[in-house]
Structure 1
Amino acid sequence: MNKPLLTGALALAVSGCASQQPDMPFTLTLAHINDTHSHFDASDAPLMLDGHQLYTRLGGHPRLLSQANVLREQARQNKQPLLFVHGGDAWQGTGYFKLNQGAMNADILSRLGLDAMVLGNHEFDLGQQHLATFIQSVNFPLVAANLDTRREPALKGAENLYPYVLYAFDGHNKERLESMEDAGGDAVVAVIGLVLEDMPEMVAETGRLRFEQEVAAAQRTVDTLRAQGVQHIVAVTHLGLERDQRLAAGVNGIDVIVGGHSHSLLGDFSDLGMGKQPAYAQLFSNPDGRAKTCVVQAGQYAQAIGKVTVTFTPDGRVSRCEGGNTLLTDGVFYRDIRRGEQHRVSEAQQQGLNELIASDERITVIKEDEALRRHIDEQYRPVLNAAYGKVIGHVPAALGHRRLPGRDGAQSDVAPLVAASQLYWVNTPAVQAVTGRKADIALVNAGSVRAAVEPGELKEGHVSLELLPFANPLSMVSLTGRQIAALLLETINASLPEGAHTGRFPYAAGLRFEFDETRKGAGFLRSLEVRKADGWEKVDANASYTVVMNGYSASGNDGWNTLFKTQQVLTDRIDLAWVDGKLTAFPVARLDKTGGGAIQVHYINQPLNCRTRGVKCNTDASAFVEYVRDQRPLLSPLNDTGVTLNRLQ
């Protein structure tokens, strides 16, 4: 019998009959993924191998399933317990999601054999009813101990949403328990879920949901489980690496944190061209000084799978925690991302690569699961191919997307182009005829750009379904130079700490800035200039500038708090959307917040409801399509992005 999610006082009573756990050491293996973002097909990816930049395809859900089955078989042969968990954000990311609205995610994820998944912030993107349908459709439990659903009609009493779930193990054999009274003498593992406490700031509409403070809810849940006799506790979180580390150091009794949200491929992959993150399976001491918590995370886009093995002392503390992330490649390599037959590596080089990969635990060649590949190709891929529409331009070389500029100066190729497209589009005569205004600056939060752009034909669907899939209206709003500087300082400083959520980092057009990191995770603006007809001039703190950005950012979501503060009393902001094919301006009066912390936009006349029949809000995608078609049909990076970020080494 399933139980609904209850927060505050958790529903399971402490029973004097709770079973005693075995005194022998216990070892648990966790396979884990996170931030898969509807990447059901493999991703084209560059890798450095044997000193050469080569191109292959990484991951995809059929390949994830094959690797998960390999790990399951290893655990079966060794008679070892294994759980397979997802760290959230399965939604968004590709045209598959745009076309199927979460239904395909439920279908494909249910075929992976997951044991639990935490809710990521993007699982809330379509509103509570869509989320409720997803929760009810999957064949594995969703977990969220700090989510209070009691006031939200769509999710109240959801039968597949829990604060935590319990699994009992007899060797490799696993059984889902209703309570500890059913455990017998088997070892029991609790899997608890933790979602972002500031979810209302990140998601447009969270209804009447309440999000509790992460550390307090985690400690309360752990204490409840320990009182019942549970000795092994795994937290599956969607908080980001920095918060996971704080959680590990701030809560007594969590053994392993399996995270998501910051897309952290933990470990050193720099020689493979995939960057260097903090070490996989780091241990953090709990506040009581008695126990330690192990923290892991597995990158993004279904490209890798993590495997961590945890050994416990007889009294339930972690004694060893080790493992790593493994990139999943199809094993086919090209010298050029256009992947023509003439670009294939030679037979001798392929043999050398096979030997190199066989000796490297960070990467493996694995075939896709044939049944899942066939299911995707038959049920979903034909509609996806038809939806991509007309060719709008060509991309000679890959355009990468890096949310936060690196210490080496590398940054996003795509986000500056998105900003340039918005500034271009709102200043075209057709749009100015609707707005009556000219924009000076465009700002783009890095997280709104959801994909790199691969070489070859660029179609409308690549933009609206992959690059800018959120269908955001563009907004125009007046800001003073002082407010612009405050916004940049706020968002850049918030993006710099190790493991921080970097989706809030700002890229720009018509504006250039230089930022110096003066201490770890913080710094100041060295210069801030706006483009004028005769060149660049210093931003005047007291002057007013018209800024264009997507409506999500314009409301102050995702840490762009300065924008919320400036519009609480009065604003001249207008939002732009298509109504029955006609571009329409929606003037905004002010912003406020609901009791739950969600930001509300109050319009002067008719409200903008992007779900209304005949209303299309994706003017952000429209701007990029027109910009490429009219200005840059051969799409290449801008010579100057306007962003200079001087980071400490």
Structure 2
Amino acid sequence: MPNVTPITLSIAHINDTHSHFEPTPISLAVKGLEDRIYANVGGFARISSVVKSFKQEAENDTDGFLFLHAGDCFQGTLYYSLFKGEANATLLNMLNLDAMALGNHELDLGNAAVSKFLDQITFPFLAGNWDVSRELPNKEFPVKGKAPLLPYDSELKIASVLTKEFGGKKVAIFSVALDKMADIAMPDPDTPFVNSKETIINTVKYIHEEIGTPHIILLSHLGYDQDLKMAEEVEGLSVIVGGHSHVLQGDFSNLGLGDMGPYGRQINNTLVVQAGCHSLALGKLTVSLDEKGRVTSHNGGNFLMLGRSLAMDASWDQSLPDKVFQTAKAYLLEQPNVIHCRGDDAVKDVIAARYRPAVEKLKSDVVTNLPARLRHIRVPDDKGGSEIAPLVCDAMMYSARTRGHAVDFAIHNAGGVRVSLEQGKLTAAEVAGRLLPFAIDLMLYKPTGLQVMQALEGAINNATNNSVEGTGDGSFPYTSGLRYTYEGNKPKGSRITQLEYQTLDGSWHAIELDKHYVAVSSAYTSQGKEGYDSLKNMSECPYSIYVTLADSFIEFARTKDILLAPEQSLQNYFSLT
């Protein structure tokens, strides 16, 4: 390696923004006030303003400035439900990122969504352990060869590296994401993810030998615990800028938001930082590295970005009395982890002109009225199961059949439904923004009866940790046109003791294990995630009917009478013993 001199960098960083382009109301504790108050926090316009200011400061105090995003911009709000990756591309371009990492939610809809995103962005998109080298030709929406993408180099067995130079001093940046991406997202089968740790080790060695710099930044979407582990086990990383686990490093107990420990965890010679989620905070780091890339000093923090307005509640219907407002404002102005700022007008104008009108329309679009509260619970308890998840399955059946598909039954995982619903008006915004916020397609697939039986048992085993180490109770299956009995005390593999489907005439018939059926599920479930493993091995690949979960429920709620009392619209769809 040639002679290398120390370097001091300023790094602005965000992660897991999840389409939170506008400020989010959150409650804050204020010393001297008995009740918490609400402030609109964060948003892209404020991020843009603060980053510009930080960059100006850096020009005088450091060798160089970087603005990095550690992945997961997709999903999260109505802006994504309505505009998918296009709004993210437009607004992230306006932030002038130096680089962004691929997150798992970018692949919720497979490679096609990423391909379209790559066509629209103007910044490097790092995906260092994503091997796209064998992507099948003639895809309508390929990712291989797209200019912004820096994927895994299968020949050198390293991540593609982004090199930035500041006054002759080189900084190398690369990324990795979760190895088991296929378990929680939907990358196309011809573009697998390779081992992240091996990729990191090989890439660090390559950077030292071929690029000739020890100043190395890993842009990680592994999660905080894994970032700390990489810092401990892999030599040669200067800074890890992380995401995925939504950790807001720093002590925010002064605002009633808890204490996640100091900003910047240094392990050996590597510094690990992460900046929460949902565009609430911006990480501002100044770090000095010696001639071997080791951290010698660092300072900075995560900062919540606030505007002028404060309120008594999240709806902003109740303003603060003047004395309370003045007390709260004075206190917040004194806090070292709060930045008061005006948002970038250009960003605000684009949001207001191109995107917000459609969001506001959804908020005023009432799709039905609910005569009673509908309870959602993942795993049934002594009060019964979810009252909403079976309706979501009914909606899937309705959407598929009205499009001409002869569907036998629907299955949906409980975790795909996010909230209970209160009595009264149900708006399209409530459905797409809170009830079914994951903008993923409905898929048709043709399992055998045996695969259905195995999927149901596997999902329940996973949800209840019955003979397996499960991944969470979100896998619990709800159905329409299908009913079953699960006996948890039976040997593994024989716990579904009754399994029937309903024909169009309303009669129930036993599922034949060797017969193929037509089912509809979300893209997530149909791909065999979280206990539904048997669905991975179907003779035909699932195919989309080009309607999302939320859109399906909205059209069902408009045209089908779910004004019935909940007990009238639900069937006895399962039995647990």
Could you tell me the TM-score, scaled by structure 1's length? 0.67
- 2:125 corresponds to 1:157: no
Instruction: Show the 5 A alignment for 1:436-455.
Output: 443-445=413-415, 449=418
| Distance (Å, rounded) in 1 between the aligned partners of 2:131 and 2:443 | 33
Which residue of structure 2 aligns with residue 313 of structure 1?
A: 290
SS at match of 2:540: strand
Task: List runs of 5+ in structure 1 lacking aligned partners.
Answer: 1-17, 171-185, 286-291, 404-414, 496-503, 512-529, 568-590, 593-599, 635-649
Which residue of structure 1 aligns with residue 272 of structure 2?
A: 295
**RMSD in angstroms over aligned alpha carbons?**
4.4
Q: Please report how far the alpha carbon of residue 383 of structure 1 lies from its aligned counterpart in structure 2 after TM superposition.
A: 3.3
| Distance (Å, rounded) in 2 between the aligned partners of 1:359 and 1:633 | 53
| Distance (Å, rounded) in 1 between the aligned partners of 2:392 and 2:476 | 10
Q: Please report how far the alpha carbon of residue 361 of structure 1 lies from its aligned counterpart in structure 2 after TM superposition.
A: 2.6
| Distance (Å, rounded) in 2 between the aligned partners of 1:309 and 1:620 | 48
| Distance (Å, rounded) in 1 between the aligned partners of 2:347 and 2:422 | 25
Conserved 8 A contact 2:7-2:63: no
**CA distances 1:435-467 after superposition (whole Å, capped 9, x unpaired):** 777x9x974226x64x99999964113313564
Conserved 8 A contact 2:64-2:166: yes
Instruction: Show the 5 A alignment for 1:60-459.
Output: 60-152=43-135, 153=137, 154-162=142-150, 163-170=160-167, 186-227=168-209, 228-270=211-253, 272-277=255-260, 279-285=262-268, 292-340=269-317, 343-387=318-362, 390-392=365-367, 419=389, 421-422=391-392, 443-445=413-415, 449=418, 458-459=426-427
Amino acid at match of 1:167: K
Of 451, 454, 464 in structure 1, the residue corresponding to residue 432 of structure 2 is: 464
Which residue of structure 2 aligns with residue 551 of structure 1?
A: 522
| Distance (Å, rounded) in 2 between the aligned partners of 1:319 and 1:161 | 32
SS at match of 1:602: coil
Q: 1:481 to 1:193 in 2, by over 3 A?
A: closer
Conserved 8 A contact 2:301-2:337: yes
| Distance (Å, rounded) in 1 between the aligned partners of 2:133 and 2:36 | 53
Which residue of structure 1 aligns with residue 544 of structure 2?
A: 609
Q: 1:121 to 1:347 in 2, by over 3 A?
A: same
Q: 1:145 to 1:484 in 2, by over 3 A?
A: closer
| Distance (Å, rounded) in 1 between the aligned partners of 2:235 and 2:343 | 40
Q: 1:452 to 1:538 in 2, by over 3 A?
A: closer
**CA distances 1:52-105 after superposition (whole Å, capped 9, x unpaired):** 222221211111111212211221243452211001111222232233332221
Conserved 8 A contact 2:413-2:525: no
Q: How many percent identity over aligned positions? A: 28
| Distance (Å, rounded) in 2 between the aligned partners of 1:20 and 1:148 | 34
| Distance (Å, rounded) in 1 between the aligned partners of 2:396 and 2:124 | 45
Q: Please report how far the alpha carbon of residue 474 of structure 1 lies from its aligned counterpart in structure 2 after TM superposition.
A: 8.5
Conserved 8 A contact 2:249-2:273: yes
Q: Please report how far the alpha carbon of residue 371 of structure 1 lies from its aligned counterpart in structure 2 after TM superposition.
A: 1.6
Conserved 8 A contact 1:42-1:57: yes
| Distance (Å, rounded) in 1 between the aligned partners of 2:255 and 2:88 | 30
Q: 1:91 to 1:273 in 2, by over 3 A?
A: same
| Distance (Å, rounded) in 2 between the aligned partners of 1:56 and 1:31 | 23
Q: 1:109 to 1:494 in 2, by over 3 A?
A: farther
Q: 1:240 to 1:374 in 2, by over 3 A?
A: same
Conserved 8 A contact 1:146-1:213: yes
**CA distances 1:5-54 after superposition (whole Å, capped 9, x unpaired):** xxxxxxxxxxxxx75322xx432221111111111122222223334222
Q: Please report how far the alpha carbon of residue 509 of structure 1 lies from its aligned counterpart in structure 2 after TM superposition.
A: 9.1
Q: Please report how far the alpha carbon of residue 198 of structure 1 lies from its aligned counterpart in structure 2 after TM superposition.
A: 1.8
Which residue of structure 2 aligns with residue 48 of structure 1?
A: 29
Q: Please report how far the alpha carbon of residue 246 of structure 1 lies from its aligned counterpart in structure 2 after TM superposition.
A: 2.3
SS at match of 2:21: coil
Conserved 8 A contact 1:444-1:506: yes
Conserved 8 A contact 1:422-1:549: no
**CA distances 1:197-251 after superposition (whole Å, capped 9, x unpaired):** 2222233342522321100011111111111321211111112222222222222
Amino acid at match of 1:164: V
Conserved 8 A contact 1:165-1:191: yes
Conserved 8 A contact 1:32-1:307: yes
Conserved 8 A contact 1:119-1:142: yes
| Distance (Å, rounded) in 1 between the aligned partners of 2:29 and 2:484 | 39
| Distance (Å, rounded) in 2 between the aligned partners of 1:312 and 1:622 | 54
Q: 1:157 to 1:350 in 2, by over 3 A?
A: same
Q: 1:420 to 1:104 in 2, by over 3 A?
A: same
Q: Please report how far the alpha carbon of residue 478 of structure 1 lies from its aligned counterpart in structure 2 after TM superposition.
A: 4.1
Stretch moving more, 210-219 or 41-50: 41-50
Amino acid at match of 1:198: K
| Distance (Å, rounded) in 2 between the aligned partners of 1:349 and 1:624 | 46
SS at match of 1:92: coil
Amino acid at match of 1:468: P
SS at match of 1:486: helix
Task: List runs of 5+ in structure 2 lacking aligned partners.
Answer: 151-159, 379-384, 502-518, 567-577
| Distance (Å, rounded) in 1 between the aligned partners of 2:257 and 2:361 | 33
Q: Please report how far the alpha carbon of residue 484 of structure 1 lies from its aligned counterpart in structure 2 after TM superposition.
A: 5.1
**CA distances 1:594-630 after superposition (whole Å, capped 9, x unpaired):** xxxxxx6737xxx64234xxx6665763499579984
Amino acid at match of 1:29: S
Amino acid at match of 2:277: Q
Of 18, 21, 29 in structure 1, the residue corresponding to residue 10 of structure 2 is: 29
Could you tell me the TM-score, scaled by structure 2's length? 0.74
Which residue of structure 1 aligns with residue 505 of structure 2?
A: none
Which residue of structure 1 aligns with residue 474 of structure 2?
A: 506
Stretch moving more, 65-74 or 456-465: 456-465
| Distance (Å, rounded) in 2 between the aligned partners of 1:621 and 1:268 | 41
Conserved 8 A contact 2:431-2:550: no
Amino acid at match of 1:445: G
| Distance (Å, rounded) in 2 between the aligned partners of 1:278 and 1:420 | 42
Stretch moving more, 42-51 or 107-116: 42-51
Q: Please report how far the alpha carbon of residue 145 of structure 1 lies from its aligned counterpart in structure 2 after TM superposition.
A: 2.0
Conserved 8 A contact 2:42-2:280: yes
Q: Please report how far the alpha carbon of residue 302 of structure 1 lies from its aligned counterpart in structure 2 after TM superposition.
A: 1.0
Stretch moving more, 258-267 or 105-114: 258-267
Conserved 8 A contact 2:368-2:563: no
Conserved 8 A contact 1:392-1:460: yes
Q: 1:161 to 1:271 in 2, by over 3 A?
A: same
Which residue of structure 2 aligns with residue 586 of structure 1?
A: none
Which residue of structure 2 aligns with residue 579 of structure 1?
A: none
Q: Please report how far the alpha carbon of residue 140 of structure 1 lies from its aligned counterpart in structure 2 after TM superposition.
A: 1.6
- 2:442 corresponds to 1:473: yes
| Distance (Å, rounded) in 1 between the aligned partners of 2:55 and 2:327 | 29
SS at match of 2:309: coil
Q: 1:79 to 1:453 in 2, by over 3 A?
A: farther
SS at match of 1:261: coil
Amino acid at match of 1:87: A
Amino acid at match of 2:165: A
Amino acid at match of 1:230: T
Q: Please report how far the alpha carbon of residue 427 of structure 1 lies from its aligned counterpart in structure 2 after TM superposition.
A: 11
Which residue of structure 2 aligns with residue 515 of structure 1?
A: none
SS at match of 1:49: coil
